Structure 1
Amino acid sequence: MNAMEGELEAAIQKQGTAPVRRLSLDEGKLKNGLGQLVLTLVKLLHELLEKQAIRRMEGGSLSDEEIERLGTALMRQAEEIERLRLEFGLTEEDLNLDLGPLGRLL
C-alpha cells in the first residue's frame, strides 16, 4: 500500500467513527418557504403587470372598458395575493427578498 492509499484508508476509518449528521427537514417550514418563494414571484409579476397597465393607459392604447376590466382584474389579483399571504402567515416584508448588492426585490 502506498502513502496515498494509506491516507485514504485512514480518512475513511476516521469518517466512520464521526457522528453522522442528518439534514433535519421540517415539512411545515419547507411548505412555508416554498409558499413564500412562489408568492413573492406572483407579487413581482403582479407589480410588473400593474406598471405595464399604467403605461398602456397613459399611452392611450386602451379603451375605457378595457381600463375598467384591467383595473378590476388587478384589484382581484391583489386581494388574492393578500389572502394567500395571510394564509401562509407572511408579512409584506417576507415577500420583499433581499438580493444583496442588487437591493430589495420589491
Structure 2
Amino acid sequence: MNDEADPAPGERRPPPEPPPSLRRAGAALNDAFRLLQAPPAPADEPPRPARRLRTDHESVEEDLLKLVLTVVELLRQLIERQALRRVDAGDLTDDQEEELGATLMALHDALSDLCAEHGYTLQDLNLDLGPLGPLLPRED
C-alpha cells in the first residue's frame, strides 16, 4: 500500500525520487553546465548572460517530443530521397514502386497526425541550427 496521502485536489504529487545512477548523471550534467561559460563578449559590447535551459517538467516533455518527431521526419525525408534515387536508377519494379510510395505516404500522414495531435506542424520540426541553417531541407 502507498504510505503517502493522496494530494488535495489541484495539488501535484512530487515526482518519485530518481535512482542513484540517474542522480549521478544529473549531478555530472549540473557540474558541466556550471563550468560552461558564455563566450567572451567583444570589448565594445556589454557582456551577455549565458543562455539558460528551461527544465520544468512540461517544457522538457514537449521539447523531447518535438525532438523525437523531428528525428522521425528527418529519417522519413532521407528514406524518401533514397527511394527516389532507386526509382530513378530503375532498381525497383512497378509493384515495388507502388508499395514504397504508399508506405511513404502513410508514414507522412501518420507523422502529420502526430504533429497535429500535439499542436505542431511539420514546418515546426525544422530546427534552426544557427549558422548551419535549418536541419531539414525545405520541401517545395
Percent identical across equivalent pairs?
Answer: 48
Match of 2:100, SS state, is helix
Q: How does 1:80-95 map to 2 (within 5 A)?
A: 80-95=110-125
Shift of 1:91: 2.8
Rg: which structure is higher?
Answer: 1
C-alpha distance in 1 between matches for 2:91 and 2:55: 50
Contact kept? 2:69, 2:111, Cα under 8 Å: yes
Task: Please state which structure has a larger fraction of its residues in helix.
Answer: 1
Shift of 1:26: 3.0
1:30 aligns with 2:60: yes
Residues 31-80 of structure 1, C-alpha deviations (whole Å, 9 max, x = no match): 11111000001000000011000000000000001001100110000011
Shift of 1:100: 1.1
Q: How does 1:22-101 map to 2 (within 5 A)?
A: 25-101=55-131
Q: Which residue of 2 aligns with 1:103?
A: 133
**Greater alpha carbon shift after TM alignment, 23-32 vs 52-61:** 23-32
Report the CA distance shift for 1:101/1:49 in structure 2 as closer, same or farther (over 3 A): same
C-alpha distance in 1 between matches for 2:128 and 2:114: 21
Q: Which residue of 1 aligns with 2:46?
A: none
For these two proteins, the number of residue pairs brought into alignment is 84
The gaps in structure 1 that reach 5 residues or longer are 1-22
C-alpha distance in 2 between matches for 1:57 and 1:98: 31
Contact kept? 2:73, 2:111, Cα under 8 Å: yes
Q: Which residue of 1 aligns with 2:9?
A: none
TM-score, normalising length: structure 1: 0.73
C-alpha distance in 1 between matches for 2:103 and 2:69: 17
TM-score, normalising length: structure 2: 0.56
Amino acid at match of 1:69: E
Shift of 1:101: 1.3
